[in-house]
Structure 1
Amino acid sequence: MTRISPERLRLAVIGAGLGSAPHFRSLQDLAGISELVYVYGRDAGRLAAVQVPDGARKTTRLEDILEDDSIKAVLVLTPPNAHLDMVQRAARAGKHVLVEKPLEIDLNRANALVEACETAGVTLAVMLQHRLREAALGLRALIASGELGQLVGAAAFVRWWRPQSYYDEPGRGTLARDGGGVLITQAIHTLDLLLSLIGMPQRVTGIAGTSPVHRMEGEDTAAALLHYSNGAVAVVQATTAAYPGFPERIELNFTQGTATLEGGEMRAAFHNGKTATAGAAQASGGGADPMAFDHAAHRAVLEDFIRAVQNGAAPAVTGRSALGVQQVIEAIMASSKAGSAVPLHPAAVIPVM
């Protein structure tokens, strides 16, 4: 991968919808190492109403970005079903890419997206920012130290709330635009973090559906068992029908202790009486306002991406590693439809860590 001069990285944002705000705030914080040159949107009227960082130019011509050789990287923040096309075009133009989660609406399209960047030789990072929260980094280091011992069992709970008005927005929670409901849009962060900590399961048993709380095409409630080769089992529960919304939580049980992550805070307790903590309580947008969260983790992913591009290194959250969570989400949905466990063939399992 080509190393780029350590001067400020000139980049562009493609897509300026609801999810762009924490990216803009992060780029303002990172103005010392990056320069936001363009913000692209298809709809001139909507784009005119978007507040962008000082100095950024709004454009409805994607060619302004793709044909500008000074632009070295792009942030793709469009709806999921437009990711593949935008990333393919950016990669062919030699732009490094950071894409908002999920990679795409299904695993096949996500694979094609990753392969497009690999073929073009450009960096691909994914905004799965929970991996870079302080508490998650602390827990990852603790697991790697071996102090907790062998994994016995795990659980992940995403009990969030979205009012019907959220799903009344065109495209929200649909298969065609978003790829599904709560699993691929909200719980993907916690599920990805779980997989990055304990690895991919051997098989998946799942059930998913839409509760009476919402009118939507995708699922707003799902549960799953992730079966591991060493006998460990992880329980997953995800919903956007739990009023008023609660902090997401991961529980990991090991032979020498237990660790929990809840709302940005990690606590571990060992059989020998030792304890450990990391991080601090923080909101994650689990209530009626999906943007009610601090942007520090977004900033961490963006800074890591910028440094990776400048140094010709791999980012912390690679595109290939983000395929794992989509593989598990598709297995949960397939299991729910089939009414039986779905094995993940060893040759097809995508490493997350």
Structure 2
Amino acid sequence: MSPLRVGLLGPGGIGARHIKALAQLPEEGELVACCGRDAERTQAFTTEHGGAVYTDFDAMLTREALDLLIVALPPFAHTGQVEAAARKGVHLLVEKPIALDMVRADTMVEAADAAGIVAACAFMYRFGEAVERWETADTGRPGMFTGFFHCNSLHSPWWRERALSGGQTVEQLIHIVDLARHTLGMPETVYAKAANLFHRDVPRYDTEDVSAMILGYEDGRIGLLNASNAAAPGRWEKGWKIISERMTGSFTDFNAGELTRSASEGGSETVMSERDVFVAQLADVVGAIRDGRKAKVPLSEGADSLRIALAARRSAEEGREVVV
């Protein structure tokens, strides 16, 4: 079969990561067009990676016969592009968080469902070898999920403003939120606390830099998640632990973890891998398009995890437990 004609919306760092993954799958797809607001930056991107240059998304969508669109925009920049591509029958891989509010997120999912296209959310952690090994292990029923995301960076200017990024919970911790939801299911309630303790003097920094949340379930299962943007500089540390009936999983990364049996005979398994989760994710999306099936992480799951993150933010703002 011919390689898929791929377009990219958003020639930034994460967009480059997706296109580098595409380069590892030359028989599956090729970049034919790239659209960005900055013509010079977009030209530099295509000089390195290939494809035609666009600064007008509607023009790219009209002139290029795209099979797949990778949407790597910051969350504030979503203004209907996903819906427009869906109406044209273009398959989608959309970076997280897919929106800043549930109205936009639900509109995206509805448009994709109505078009009958493959639409995926880019939660690449799900494609880690340690994560996938846990999914195939005889773990029994999970009862507790704990996780964290710690860093110390000022990021891009837009990241510091809640109105543009959604805050650290929505833009970063959502990766761990997604794993918790994937493991335990959708919670009934969320209770959260958050504050900006360390960046009050940084211009336009109005998002939280410490936060924690509790995911509550009627049957007693529980999720405990926390994040900070005031930890060790230069480190992007994340980890999580899952306690289930027959196994405990301790993960230092999506590709690294230890699975320990809870039975009296004990025993453990260590998973260490260098799998490129961006390549694995893209291969799944291409396979879904080829095979006429859903992607492993449908866009609807991006909306579900966003719903939890937004509920946590609302809980922290209102100082009360929130029903999801």
Aligned partners of 2:18, 2:37: CA distance in 1, in Å?
Answer: 18
Check 1:63–1:343 CA distance in 2 against 1; reply closer, same or farther (3 A cut).
Answer: closer
* TM-score for both structures, normalised by structure 1: 0.84
Kept in 2, the 8 Å contact 1:156–1:250? The answer is: yes
Give 1:182's aligned residue.
168
2:322 to 338, 342, 346: 342
2:269 to 276, 279, 282: 276
* TM-score for both structures, normalised by structure 2: 0.91
The residue matched to 1:25 in structure 2 has which SS? helix
Aligned partners of 1:52, 1:229: CA distance in 2, in Å?
Answer: 54
Aligned partners of 1:63, 1:332: CA distance in 2, in Å?
Answer: 35
Relative to structure 2, which stretch is displaced further, 319-328 or 125-134?
319-328
Give 2:207's aligned residue.
218
Kept in 1, the 8 Å contact 2:121–2:298? The answer is: yes
Residues 182-239 of structure 1: CA deviation (Å, up to 9, x unaligned): 1111111122122112212121111112122353122222101111222122211111
Structure 1: unaligned runs, 5 residues or longer: 1-5, 283-293, 345-353
Aligned partners of 1:64, 1:152: CA distance in 2, in Å?
Answer: 50
Give 1:227's aligned residue.
216
Percent of residue pairs bearing the same amino acid type: 27
Check 1:69–1:265 CA distance in 2 against 1; reply closer, same or farther (3 A cut).
Answer: same
2:177 to 180, 184, 191: 191
Structure 2: unaligned runs, 5 residues or longer: none
The amino acid that maps onto 2:7 is A
Check 1:310–1:150 CA distance in 2 against 1; reply closer, same or farther (3 A cut).
Answer: closer
The residue matched to 1:67 in structure 2 has which SS? helix
How far did 1:246 drift?
Answer: 5.2
Q: Is 2:101 the partner of 1:106? A: yes
Aligned partners of 1:342, 1:55: CA distance in 2, in Å?
Answer: 47
The residue matched to 1:230 in structure 2 has which SS? coil
Q: Is 2:2 the partner of 1:7? A: yes
The amino acid that maps onto 2:113 is E
Give 1:237's aligned residue.
226
Kept in 1, the 8 Å contact 2:36–2:55? The answer is: yes
Kept in 2, the 8 Å contact 1:84–1:110? The answer is: no
How far did 1:64 drift?
Answer: 4.2
Report the structure, 1 or 2, having the larger helix content: 2
Check 1:310–1:152 CA distance in 2 against 1; reply closer, same or farther (3 A cut).
Answer: closer
Check 1:29–1:184 CA distance in 2 against 1; reply closer, same or farther (3 A cut).
Answer: same
Kept in 1, the 8 Å contact 2:180–2:223? The answer is: no
Q: How many residues align?
A: 317
How far did 1:53 drift?
Answer: 5.1
Check 1:256–1:120 CA distance in 2 against 1; reply closer, same or farther (3 A cut).
Answer: closer
